[in-house]
Amino acid sequence: MTNTALQVTGVTKYFGGLAALDGVEAAIDAGKISAIIGPNGAGKTTLFNLITGVYPFTVGEISYQGTSLKKLPAHKRTQMGIARTFQNILLFPHMTCLENVMVGQHTRSRYGFFEAALRLPKSRKEEEAVNLKAMKYLNLAGLGMKAEQDAMSLPLGQQKLLAVARALASEPSLLLLDEPGAGLNKLEKMELSDLIRRIREMGITVLLVEHDMELVMGLAEWIFVLDSGKKIAEGTASQIQRDPKVISAYLGEEVEYVES
């Protein structure tokens, strides 16, 4: 028996008159790599935003390890072990790579205003620990050499890896990755796959939104397919590839690509 880490039940989210999500059900298994795929505008990012508390939702329920997330503010969900990356990366500019990852450690150190202002020993000890941990996650993403560089000076591929390292630094049990492969070249995508597998080996549940089918099919043990806010299929890679509903949803998208 596998147990469910994240349970999404009947979640519906309207933006104005548009249902970005419509009665979505999903059970994400603990310790596995799962993926959400679907055409542009299917509601994938919206689902991430509801899980992490960027937007509130009223209809349906999302629970993590049996606890409802509905009323928790975003920052408390991090403390419960949920971390994410963003489709548009959102690194912190004017901060080095190391500092970016150190922010990720925010919930893992406690000292506050007072200890910081007076530089009490507690603050210095914790700072050292944070620094070491951050270096560890930077190295994990292969960016140890870039520690002192400004985050925004990295090429896109490394920025994406840095965002993963930053999220990992919060020491999550569930990691949500929103299109980590977008804009990466072949080699970078291989490195990314490798990193994601290592994250899984660390015992972290991974939920991935991705358009690159090769990447998804190679990594994901379970795949959910969204289209226009509805879940139209779920299953293993081979089940999904044969599903006529999925094929027609993607055929529709390919026509759009040709037009644009």
Partner 1 sequence: MMNVERLQRFNWRPVAIGFLLVLLLLMPFNWFMGQYTTLLVFIGLHTMVTVGLCLLLGYTGQVSLGQAAFYGLGAYFSAVLSKTYGVNPWLAMIIGAIATGTFAYVIAYPIFRLKGNYLAMATLGLGIIMYVLFRQMAQYTGGPDGMGGIPQLAIGSFVFDTPFKRYYLVWFFCLSILLLSQNIVNSRTGRALRAIHGSEAASASLGINVAQFKMKIFVLAAVYASLAGSLFVHHLSFVNPQPFGFLGSVMIVVMAVVGGLASIWGAIFGAAMVRILSDELLLRFGELDIVIYGLILMLVMIFTPEGLFVRLKSYYRRWQTGRLGEVEL
Ligand X SMILES: Nc1ncnc2c1ncn2[C@@H]1O[C@H](COP(=O)(O)OP(=O)(O)OP(=O)(O)O)[C@@H](O)[C@H]1O
By the rule CB under 8 A, 148 interacts with partner 1: no
* 46, 78, 85, 193: residue in contact with ligand X (rule CB under 6 A): 46
38 binds, among ligand X, Mg ion, partner 1, none (CB under 5 to 8 A by kind): ligand X
CA distance 23 to 13: 9
DSSP state of 171: -
Question: What contacts 215, CB < 8 A, 6 or more positions away?
Answer: 181, 189, 192, 193
Residues numbered 73 to 102 that lie near ligand X (CB under 6 A) are 87
Distances (CA, A) of 164 to 124, 172, 175: 26, 11, 9
- Residues 87-126, interacting with Mg ion (CB under 5 A): 87
Contact status: 73 vs partner 1 (CB under 8 A):
yes
Question: What number of other Cβ atoms are within 10 A of residue 257's Cβ?
Answer: 9
For 259, other C-beta atoms within 10 Å of its C-beta total: 6
Query: Of these, 36, 38, 46, 126, which contacts partner 1 (CB under 8 A)?
Result: 126
Distance CA 90, CA 81 (A): 20
Which residue, judged by CB position, is nearest to Mg ion in the bound state?
Answer: 45
| Residue with tokens 């044969």, as numbered in its chain | 242
The reply to whether 41 sits near ligand X by the rule CB under 6 A is yes
Please identify which residue in 72, 74, 154, 232 interacts with partner 1, judged by CB under 8 A: 74
129 binds partner 1 per the rule CB under 8 A = no
Number of residues that bind partner 1 (CB under 8 A): 40
